[in-house]
Amino acid sequence: MNAAQFGYGAIMDIIRNDDGSLTVPVVPSRHANDEDPATGAADGSTPTDGSGAPETRVLSPGQGGYIEALAEWDRQQHPDGDVAVSTASGREGAMAVIHAVSEDPEHVAEAVEALDDPGASAEALRHVLVGGNPSVQAFASEVAEAEGGDPLPPHKATRIIGEVLAEIDARPE
């Protein structure tokens, strides 16, 4: 499945689950002669199962389309936000927090609390997500180089980015 098959925001919002997976709307596949009222209109306005409920799929870190869906989920959380901008200090904080959480996944809140500027770090992480898988891979290598250790696999780095962004967003400003 690729990102083009997801109907981001068209029918429902993307939901970030506690385990880091994302529940995303899926554009149902349509057949050209599918005009049976039991299965929906040929224009795709209802799902193919005829239930009236949007079709969804759960994506886990590492699955195709996950990084794009996570970036869209973040955009839904900040609909008035501009394009993410990564500053040097924000990127340094982002690398430190990702490394800290990868070393101790149970203490995301403490790792975020240790950031000098959580907002700048969040923007840097959003900038990474917007770049997709190549950006996440490069960021994971950069974290390993700056903080030590082996680069995280992209799916693990993406999951941690999602956890960190959720923690930063949950904090009062």
What tens digit of pLDDT does each residue of 146-163 get?
998 899 999 899 999 999
Is the pLDDT assigned to residue 13 strictly greater than 80? yes
For the chain, domain boundaries: 88-170
pLDDT score for 30: 60
Is the pLDDT assigned to residue 118 strictly greater than 80? yes
Pairwise CA distance, residues 101 & 57, whole Å: 27
pLDDT score for 1: 40
Most confident of 20-34, 63-77, 100-114, 120-134: 100-114
Neighbours of 140 (CB within 10 A): 24
pLDDT score for 36: 47
Tell me which long-range contacts 25-28 makes (C-beta under 8 A, separation of at least 24): 25/54, 25/55, 25/56, 26/1, 26/55, 26/56, 26/57, 28/55
